[in-house]
Structure 1
């Protein structure tokens, strides 16, 4: 479930809001003003000036203008203007420089928005730390009601005070001094904030509470002393299940993973002295997966962790596709302490992983995995990854198999590349037809700004796409031979998933997709000025109309809409600093459903073949990942509502297989400008380090493997290519306590052990020995194209929780993406 969350932090002294009164405004707009206590007038004017100087939250620079492009502008009719005036609602509440405002949507289709304002009181105040006020809207942000009494005006944390979970669940975490209380305080709600329940915790939180993927009643939390706590009744009761925990993550089902240290060493994680455990019965028993790990994560269906197998050797990566029952060393380059691994993206079928290059190069190599996370193939070299561990890698969710990222070429320039087959091949973006290059350059392409640009405040937003808005992509970019920070960043739109683009808005903007792509809204990112105008388009950015949503402009803080992109209400948030008045926070909600009243019918939709181009074989036109997909989507000229009941409809048909349906196997890479997989020069002797049950084995490969989720039929078959014999070497399993088994049967995990047992029992002679050895060698040969080789360690080694040593927590992050925490797998495996 998608959750749109906006947080705005402003520094300065803190004050308390203590009252409310309403007043009306023009055109049917309603205004509710929440006053603060009386403060010194000179201080208020000084703070107002300070805000005006700091200005917009985006901080977007205004570099020189880029190339001109043509775009369509249509003025509003008087009737349209009146309709929007009558359905635009403005809510204002006074704030101060110390206010911390959190705006959170709750649920999908509920129309509920929570606004939390916290105020840190001065040290000598009678308030213990501060106070909070909570406001709730049930009409998509058109009006708000003060429900602070539901939480007794308790001071809510600024760092992770609001956490929204599955369904309509909400958790508020109070900011309680650790020395004054035995445990923290939370408020829980299961009805989207209509009511809250007060809960005293037996511990203090160090990070947000983590929800279970499927069951919102199952919660897990980490305390400041490293204790892992579990609740099975949505926080009413808590049980400590482990001590000394550094990090944790939910897996599939009721699998819960954690890493902990057996010693009190503060650098256990840096030295790779952590132990990875798993529980399948909600904390009753634990099993050890691996020792000597640095960190771990869980994404899609893959558990992954990095290990230092020898104190003098670099780290290596291990993966498991069966919740840790078995695991294998990934066929990847090792990483020294100066390098890092980073999981870029993943699902149940494959992973994208970045391996940093040695030194401060700001780039590395991107790899894609097979469906078990074992065999990794080189996907993109010189993949951009800066010193802040930020990547521009983006999944274009509006079309299957499309990914966008940036690379640092040898000439030191950053260039954008896009893949339409899940990393199998990459190419540059085409120049939009309505945009000319600034200078005459040899290669003129569109280049998209990513996380690096946002981190450096060049653009306010990243590329935006939504699964329900088929083929639609909105992004900031520049046109030329490379990405430019001095050239004016403009907004570009693609309607076909990134194959073609067009310039649509000059300058940086904040934008949002509504009504499953039937409506796009945008607000210009002003660096020094204030905003009062919203732009909207009903034809995927070809033409735009502008509407002044307020008479008095304000500094922009955020653009918010309901999760799921099916709503047609959008809220613009910000504040008005004034010389003679105290600054006022403002929320303006615009209901576009009142303007676009007609429901779409069958004549408003068209059949669209995804990935289709005018180039290449007509028979294979549209074939990507082995299938052709024909979508039913809205015509550009149709002005109507898709509605909340809209469901993406598509038809699929299989394609004949080609080399493009295969990735290059381990030890191979796709030569530039060709589809043929060739052997990497780093493996001239054709010997690869592949771990097969700790034994030397043979792997026959044609250099290709099917792209995960590819469903092509017939056609190209890599069996026809010349096969290469690869002789992998063995790897020893992780050291650990002896395995405990409830079965009296002794298990022999290697063919060699089984062979010795057979010889001892049978008392065979030399001839029998030779025959058996020959049979074992014959069985050990694995042809990769027919079935996957088994490189698995033995089952988990069981250890009771009572035998583990507890330690104090030094650091902890959860990789669970269901919380509001923004930390992900990006820096998980450093």
Structure 2
């Protein structure tokens, strides 16, 4: 796989040894300054390894092992990017006993963990977590909607799931988080179709426990309290619940068709009639993103994620008002000091579970790595850490990584040995030495291009000349043939030429002379005058009389005659 960071002008090969031609791979996300890439494990396993890239997408490191990605259907993966908070993703992991577990990351894949179960959850197992249904469950026939989040509803995520030690086929309930996945609450019993409206100020849901629901539910406090409204008294088969893309409006539409007539029916509900007041500044409260993160560490890094603390203005739970259509959450941010949490493990390194240290992966022999970037090899000598793409932390922990420009072309794979104890390389001298190489490469490329163009022109000229010479040869090869006929002409002036021709052909008295020049000379030498030697066509007995009409000749030089 190759990556371009300049719009396709130059390409560089990725460093990912597990990516071979016989393995399936899929780019899952590249929206947050890095790439999430799934690579299947060998064999028909239904799982693989999830990798994350460095900032330029060239070097990859392992993010999640045994990532669930079944090999049936199209895009059946539980990988999901949470839109309402930075750095949070959901995925499913399959264990060695084929049990499936829901996983969450709060730092763009640097570390993954199981999802905490809601408080006071009833679970028979000692290790209970929230298991979330996604595309895999839907493909297996589970009645559930996919996870839902929107950018302007900060921290809000709706999912279908249940509390257990592994994902099950039991009927799911609706769970909600208001803080980006750190804590969860069960808000609705049974499966529902749901939508987020009014930038998170309104949640609308319709039950899927029956095919013909008549009641729509809505909440203005992130699912803590629900109100019901009967929108129809008819038996309408529900097919969908929709709101305007982006989730800003106060209206939603319920789609369905009549059970008897099969006619489509759409119910549009405008909740402004119920929630008429427009929100003001007193209706908002400050909400800190990732507030519960890293509380056990030293002071100053609580709530820090990817190098900064963020806070937003959100509606108070008890506010009965609606956001304006053009509402945007107000953000306040502050940069944090760097720690190991701001770094992920470099290629060929792994972070053991429960640790923030990056240790050498035993599957690799060395910590040195050669990277091909824009036509040149760069040797990366690393102690195992690289800053997570998009992390903006300053100061603090700074691992010392060395990038030594080897000035070697990737296609020839020429590598110079640079020893660490020899000291720093003189960059000025390197630039001087590299310039002739670059000019030589450019000159060689130009000469090759000119040579190819000249060869093409010469071949074209030779081909055209050969064609015309061959045509001239064919024209000269074929001689013009003249045919002569003796046509009887009547003495009268009233009979036309066609009548004369018909009469001559009918009487079989047409004569023609087909003697070549050589035959004429031979006849003269034998004493046989040419003018008295005639051959007949149509009859072997020709009566030569003294009143033979004058000979009338015609010349037929049609294409057929030229070729005979």
TM-score (norm 2): 0.71
Distance 1:694 1:630, change over 3 A: closer
Shift in Å, 1:456: 2.3
1:645 is displaced (CA, Å) by 2.4
CA contact (8 A) 2:367 2:384 kept: no
Task: Verify: 1:472 aligned to 2:156, yes or no.
Answer: yes
Match of 2:54 among 357, 366, 370: 370
Count of residue pairs brought into register by the alignment: 430
Contact 1:574–1:585 (Cα < 8 Å) also in 2: yes
Q: 1:613 to 1:385 in 2, by over 3 A?
A: same
The CA distance in 2 between the partners of 1:692 and 1:540, in whole Å, is 48
Structure holding more helix per residue: 2
Provide closer, same or farther for how the CA distance between residues 781 and 676 of structure 1 changes in structure 2, counting only shifts above 3 A. farther
Deviations 1:43-71 (A, max 9, x none): xxxxxxxxxxxxxxxxxxxxxxxxxxxxx
- Contact 1:468/1:648, CA 8 A, preserved across alignment: yes
Whole-Å Cα distance in 2 between the matches of residues 594 and 655 of structure 1? 45
**Distance of 1:583 and 1:447 partners within structure 2:** 37
Whether the aligned pair in 1 keeps the contact of 2:377 and 2:405 (CA below 8 Å) is no
For residue 432 of structure 1, the aligned residue among 84, 107, 118 is 118
The Cα shift of 1:778 comes to: 6.0
Which residue is equivalent to 1:392? 78
Paired residues for 1:579-598 under 5 Å: 582-598=261-277
Tell me if the contact between 1:333 and 1:355 (Cα under 8 Å) persists in the aligned partners.
no
Task: Provide the rounded CA distance (Å) in 1 between the counterparts of 2:359 and 2:332.
Answer: 35
Q: Find the counterpart in structure 1 of residue 173 from structure 2.
A: 490
Q: Among 383, 389, 395, which residue is 1:714 paired with?
A: 395
**Structure-2 residue corresponding to 1:413:** 99
1:629 aligns with 2:310: yes
Q: In the alignment, what sits opposite 1:540?
A: 222
Which has the larger Rg?
2
Are the aligned partners of 1:697 and 1:780 in contact in 2 as well (CA < 8 Å)? no
2:258 is aligned to: 576
After superposition, the C-alpha distances for 1:603-646 in whole angstroms (9 at most, x for unaligned) are 11001111011842342111001000011111111111012021
Shift of 1:532: 1.3
- Aligned equivalents of 2:392, 2:429: Cα separation in 1: 27
Q: Secondary structure at the match of 1:691?
A: strand
Partner of residue 463, structure 2: none
* TM-score of the two chains, using structure 1 as the length reference: 0.49
3-state SS of paired residue (2:282): helix
* Cα distance, 1:507 vs structure 2: 1.1
Q: Which residue of 2 aligns with 1:451?
A: 135
CA–CA distance in 1 between the matches of 2:129 and 2:120? Answer: 13
Gaps of 5+ in 1: 1-316, 734-748, 753-773, 783-792, 804-830
User: Deviation at 1:515?
Assistant: 0.5
Q: Does the 8 Å CA contact 1:459/1:476 hold for their aligned counterparts?
A: no
- Does the 8 Å contact 2:142/2:171 carry over to 1? no
Paired residues of 1:463 and 1:473 also in contact (CA < 8 A): yes
Q: 1:686 to 1:470 in 2, by over 3 A?
A: closer
Correspondence for 1:501: 184
1:616 aligns with 2:296: yes
Q: How does 1:56-455 map to 2 (within 5 A)?
A: 317-347=1-31, 349-388=33-72, 389-437=75-123, 439=124, 441-455=125-139
| Structure 2 match to 1:513 | 196
Cα offsets for 1:324-353 (capped at 9, x unmatched): 111111111243454211000012621111
CA distance in 2, matches of 1:509, 1:687: 52
Name the CA shift for 1:716/1:443 in 2 (closer, same or farther; >3 Å).
same
SS in 1 for 2:148: coil
1:576 deviates by 1.2
Rate the CA distance shift 1:375–1:633 in 2: closer, same or farther, 3 A.
Answer: same
Q: What is the aligned partner in structure 2 of residue 563 from structure 1?
A: 245
Alignment partner of 1:361: what SS?
coil
For residues 90-137 of structure 1, give each alpha carbon's deviation from its aligned partner in whole angstroms, at most 9, with x where no partner exists: xxxxxxxxxxxxxxxxxxxxxxxxxxxxxxxxxxxxxxxxxxxxxxxx
> Taking structure 1 as reference, are residues 514 and 695 closer, same or farther at Cα in structure 2, changes over 3 Å only?
closer
Distance 1:332 1:726 in 2: 20
Contact 2:370 2:377 in 1 (8 A): no
The 5-angstrom pairing of residues 514-529 of structure 1 reads: 514-526=197-209, 529=211
- Maintained 8 Å contact 1:626/1:712: yes
Does structure 2 conserve the Cα–Cα contact (< 8 Å) formed by 1:521 and 1:534? yes
Conserved in 2, the CA contact under 8 Å of 1:692 and 1:728?
no
Rounded to whole Å, the distance in 1 between the matches of 2:429 and 2:62 is 25
The answer to whether the Cα contact below 8 Å between 2:35 and 2:52 also exists between their aligned partners in 1 is yes
Paired residue secondary structure (2:332):
strand
Q: Secondary structure at the match of 1:637?
A: coil
Deviation at 1:688, TM superposition (A): 4.1
The answer to whether the 8 A contact 1:698-1:781 is kept is: no
3-state SS of 2:331 partner: strand
Checking the alignment, whether the CA contact within 8 Å between 2:191 and 2:207 is kept in structure 1 is yes
Q: CA deviation at 1:725?
A: 10
1:481-505 Cα deviation digits (max 9, x unpaired): 11112x2211100000111000111
Residue 664 of structure 1, CA deviation: 1.0
Check the 8 A contact 1:515/1:568 in 2, yes or no.
yes
SS at match of 2:199: helix
The CA RMSD measured in Å over matched residues stands at 3.3
Task: Give the corresponding residue for 1:732.
Answer: 411
Q: 1:671 to 1:531 in 2, by over 3 A?
A: same
1:456-502 deviations in whole A, cap 9, x for unaligned? 231332110001101100001111111112x2211100000111000
Q: Who is 1:552 aligned against?
A: 234
Deviation at 1:715, TM superposition (A): 1.0
Shift of 1:779: 5.1
Bigger relative CO (Cα 8 Å, ≥ 6 apart): 1
Q: Distance in 1 between matches of 2:7 and 2:341?
A: 31
Change in Cα spacing, 1:545 to 1:697, as seen in structure 2 (3 Å) is closer
The answer to whether the 8 Å contact 1:698/1:780 transfers is no
1:552 is displaced (CA, Å) by 0.4
- Please state how far the C-alpha of 1:684 moved relative to its aligned partner: 2.3
Structure-2 separation of matches of 1:573 and 1:628: 42
Measured in 2, the distance between the counterparts of 1:780 and 1:506 equals 70
Relative to structure 1, is the Cα distance of residues 697 and 351 closer, same or farther in structure 2, using a 3 angstrom cutoff? closer
- Structure 1 residue 686: Cα displacement: 3.9
| Cα distance, 1:325–1:589 mapped onto 2, change above 3 Å | same
The residue number in structure 2 matching 1:669 is 350
Contact in 2 for aligned 1:430/1:501 (Cα 8 Å)? yes
